[in-house]
C-alpha cells in the first residue's frame, strides 16, 4: 500500500501549485505493530519537506511583492540571485534572495546601481525566533548536550552541537535581560503621575530572597560563587521569579526592579523584603526600589538558631547530673526564647540569653567533663544567636502578629525557588561547573521558563 502527500499552495493571485512531498509505502500484509502508521523518521522527513516547500514559496511570494516599486508600481529590474539559509525547528532551508535594482523613480541619479534585497531584509537572523526560543528553553531546563539530543531525536531540526545550544540560550538570556532593563527604566517614567501613586495597592509586594552556591569552573578564582534567587509575590498575582549572579549582571537591581514592576509595583510604593541575615540581600532590594523597604528577618533562619540552643540544652538535661548543677533556671529561659522571639520581644530574649550564658559559664567550672563540653557548646550557640539578633535588630518583628494576619514571615518559599532555579539545573550531583556568566544567563532563561513567561504572547523581546 502507498500514500503520497501533496502540498497545494494557492498564491494571493489565485495561482495553484501542487508539490509532491513524500510517498510512504507498507506491505499489504502487516506482520508487526511497527509497520502500522507513521514512524518518526518518516514524520521528520515529511515535516522537513513541508517546511522547505512552504518557506520557499512564502519567501518567493514575498520577493515578488517587493519587486514592485512602492512609489510608481513598476517592476524593479532584476539584478542577481543569491541564496540565504534559515535554520528552523523543521530543518535548515535554503531560500532564494533575489536582488533588484532600485526603481528609477526613487534613485537620485538614474541607474547608479543601487540594489535592494527584500528577502535579506526580512531574514534578519540565521534562525527563526521559535527555534531560538525552544533551544533556549531546553538549554535552561536540561544540559546543553541533552537538549541537543532531545531536539534531534524528535524534530528534523538541523544538526546542532551543545555549543550552539549554549550560545542560543545565552542570546535569549541577553534579550531577557535587556527587556528587564527596559522595564526597569520605564518604572521611572510613571513616577510623577499622582493618580497612579494614589491607586497603589494596599497589598504591598513581598520580595523573598535567598542565596545559593554554584560550583565554579576550574581556573576561576573561587571554588564556588553565589547566585541570588528570589521571588516577588503579591496577592492575586502569579509569582514572578528572578535570579542573578551579582558579579556579572549588568544591572543587578534592574532585574529585581523589572520583577517588581511586573507585579504592579510603582516607584515610591512600599516593598517588604524577607531574607536571612545577609545584609547584601536587603541592600539589593533598596537599590532596586530606591524607596521604602520594610526588611524582615526570615523566621526560619532565626528559628533554626533557637533550635540549636534548645538541642544543646536538651543534651544537658539528658545527662545524669550531680545535684551541684541546677538546670531549672536555664531550662526555663531556653524554653521562653522561641516564644519571646516569635512575639517580637527580642530585648527580653537577649536578656534571657545573657542569663543562660552566665549559668553555663558557672557550670563549666564545676569540673565535670561531660557537663563542661556541653556547657561550652551552649555558650557558643547562645553567643551566636545573640549576635544574630543584635545584627538584625531592625529586621525583627512580631512574627506571631504577622503570621496571624496571613502574611508571609519566611523565605521558605524562596528556598523552593532556589531549588527550582539552581539546584535542579546546577547542583553538585550533576557534576556541573559553571562560569558566573554562563550560570547567570541560564538562570535568566530558567526563571522565565518557570514563570511561564516564555509561553505567553506577552513575551516579546526588546528590539
Which of residues 22 and 69 has its CB atom nearest to Zn ion in the complex?
Answer: 69
Of the pair 104, 361, the CB lying nearest Zn ion is at: 104
Residue 171 region by backbone torsions, left for phi larger than 0, else alpha for psi between -120 and 50, else beta: alpha
Query: Shortest distance, CB of residue 60 to Zn ion, whole angstroms?
Result: 22
Tell me how far, at minimum, the Cβ of 111 lies from Zn ion, in Å.
Answer: 13
Contact 140, 425 (CB under 8 A): yes
Integer CA distances (angstroms), 419 to 213, 347, 427, in order? 11, 35, 9
Binding range to Zn ion, per CB under 5 A, among 1-9, 63-71, 221-229, 298-306: 63-71
Smallest separation (angstroms) from Zn ion to the CB of 11: 23
In whole angstroms, the minimum distance from the beta carbon of 12 to Zn ion comes to: 21
Q: Which of these, 163, 241, 145, lies nearest to 438 by C-alpha position?
A: 163
Selected range binding Zn ion among 68-76, 153-161, 203-211, 325-333, rule: CB under 5 A: 68-76
Cβ neighbours of 3 (radius 10 Å) = 11
Binding mask 97-116 for Zn ion (x = CB under 5 A): ------x-x-----------
- State the minimum distance, in angstroms, from the CB of residue 79 to Zn ion: 15
Of positions 1, 16, 28, 71, contacts Zn ion by CB under 5 A: 71
CB of 47 to Zn ion, least distance (A): 40
Cα separation, 309 vs 349, in Å, equals 12
Q: Of the candidates 378, 383, 365, which has an alpha carbon nearest to the alpha carbon of residue 315?
A: 378
User: What is the phi/psi pair of residue 296, to 5°?
Assistant: -120, 130
- CB closer to Zn ion, 72 vs 270: 72
Rounded to whole angstroms, the Cα distance separating 37 from 243 reads 46
The smaller minimum CB distance to Zn ion, of residues 1 and 71, is found at 71
Residues 6+ apart with CB under 8 A from 355: 329, 330, 333
Q: According to the binding rule CB under 5 A, does residue 72 interact with Zn ion?
A: yes
> Which segment (62-70, 231-239, 306-314, 403-411) binds Zn ion by CB under 5 A?
62-70
DSSP secondary structure string, 257-295? HHHHHHTT--TT--EEEEE-S-THHHHHHHHHHSS-EEE
How far is the C-alpha of 233 from the C-alpha of 416, rounded, in Å? 13
Task: Compute how many residues bind Zn ion; rule: CB under 5 A.
Answer: 5
- Per DSSP bridges, beta strands 206-215 and 224-233 are antiparallel
What is the spatial order of strands in the sheet that 91-101 belongs to?
78-88, 91-101, 115-116
Dist. CA 256–CA 249, nearest whole Å: 11
Quick one: 75 or 121, whose CB is closer to Zn ion? 75
29 binding Zn ion? (CB under 5 A): no
Task: For Zn ion, give the closer residue by CB, 103 or 337.
Answer: 103
Are the CB atoms for 135 and 151 separated by under 8 Å?
A: yes
Which range, of 5-13, 72-80, 83-91, 272-280, touches Zn ion by CB under 5 A? Answer: 72-80
Closest approach, Cβ 113 to Zn ion, in A, equals: 16
CB of 100 to Zn ion, least distance (A): 11
- Note whether 69 binds Zn ion by CB under 5 A: yes
Q: Which is nearer to Zn ion, 9 or 69 (CB)?
A: 69
Which CB atom, from 105 or from 111, has the smaller least distance to Zn ion? Answer: 105
Considering the complex, state which of residue 69 and residue 123 has its C-beta at the smaller distance from Zn ion: 69
How far is residue 338's CA from residue 295's CA, in Å, rounded to a whole number?
Answer: 20
Tell me the β-bridge partners of 377: none
Contact footprint for Zn ion (CB under 5 A): 69, 71-72, 103, 105
Amino acid at each position: 500500500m502507498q500514500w503520497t502527500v501533496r502540498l497545494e499552495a494557492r498564491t494571493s493571485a489565485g495561482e495553484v501549485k501542487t508539490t509532491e512531498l513524500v510517498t510512504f509505502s507498507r506491505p499489504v500484509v502487516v506482520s508487526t505493530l511497527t509497520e502500522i502508521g507513521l514512524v518518526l523518521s518518516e514524520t521528520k522527513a515529511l515535516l522537513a519537506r513541508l517546511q522547505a516547500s512552504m518557506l520557499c514559496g512564502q519567501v518567493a511570494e514575498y520577493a515578488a511583492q517587493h519587486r514592485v516599486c512602492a512609489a510608481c508600481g513598476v517592476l524593479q529590474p532584476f539584478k542577481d540571485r543569491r541564496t540565504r539559509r534559515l535554520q528552523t525547528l523543521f530543518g535548515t532551508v535554503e531560500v532564494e534572495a533575489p536582488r533588484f535594482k532600485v526603481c528609477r523613480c526613487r534613485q537620485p541619479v538614474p541607474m547608479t546601481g543601487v540594489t535592494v534585497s527584500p528577502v535579506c531584509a526580512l531574514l534578519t537572523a540565521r534562525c527563526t525566533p521559535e527555534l531560538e526560543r525552544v533551544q533556549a528553553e531546553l538549554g535552561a531546563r536540561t544540559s546543553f548536550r541533552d537538549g541537543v539530543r532531545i531536539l534531534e531525536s524528535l524534530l528534523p531540526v538541523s544538526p546542532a552541537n551543545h555549543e550552539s545550544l549554549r550560545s542560543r540560550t545565552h542570546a535569549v538570556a541577553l534579550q531577557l535581560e535587556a527587556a528587564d532593563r527596559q522595564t526597569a527604566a520605564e518604572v521611572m517614567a510613571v513616577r510623577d503621575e499622582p493618580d497612579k501613586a494614589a491607586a497603589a495597592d494596599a497589598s504591598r509586594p513581598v520580595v523573598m530572597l535567598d542565596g545559593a552556591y554554584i560550583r565554579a569552573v576550574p581556573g576561576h578564582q573561587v571554588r564556588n560563587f553565589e547566585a541570588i534567587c528570589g521571588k516577588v509575590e503579591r496577592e492575586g498575582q502569579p509569582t514572578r521569579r528572578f535570579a542573578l549572579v551579582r558579579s556579572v549582571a549588568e544591572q543587578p537591581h534592574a532585574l529585581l526592579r523589572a520583577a517588581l514592576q511586573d507585579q504592579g509595583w510603582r516607584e515610591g510604593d512600599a516593598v517588604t523584603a524577607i531574607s536571612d541575615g545577609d545584609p547584601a540581600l536587603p541592600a539589593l532590594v533598596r537599590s532596586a526600589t530606591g524607596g521604602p523597604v520594610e526588611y524582615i528577618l526570615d523566621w526560619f533562619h532565626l528559628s533554626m538558631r533557637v533550635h540549636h540552643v534548645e538541642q544543646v540544652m536538651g543534651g544537658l538535661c539528658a545527662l545524669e547530673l550531680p545535684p551541684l548543677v541546677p538546670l531549672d533556671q536555664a531550662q526555663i529561659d531556653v524554653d521562653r526564647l522561641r516564644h519571646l522571639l516569635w512575639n517580637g520581644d527580642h530585648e527580653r530574649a537577649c536578656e534571657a540569653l545573657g542569663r543562660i550564658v552566665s549559668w553555663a559559664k558557672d557550670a563549666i567550672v564545676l569540673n565535670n567533663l561531660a557537663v563542661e563540653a556541653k556547657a561550652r557548646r551552649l555558650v557558643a550557640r547562645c553567643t551566636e544567636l545573640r549576635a544574630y539578633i543584635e545584627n538584625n535588630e531592625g529586621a525583627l518583628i512580631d512574627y506571631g502578629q504577622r503570621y496571624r494576619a496571613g502574611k508571609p514571615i519566611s523565605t521558605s518559599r524562596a528556598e523552593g525557588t532556589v531549588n527550582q532555579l539552581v539546584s535542579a539545573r546546577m547542583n553538585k550531583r550533576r557534576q556541573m561547573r559553571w562560569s558566573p556568566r554562563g550560570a547567570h544567563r541560564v538562570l535568566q532563561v530558567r526563571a522565565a521558563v518557570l514563570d511561564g513567561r516564555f509561553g505567553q504572547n506577552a513575551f516579546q523581546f526588546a528590539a
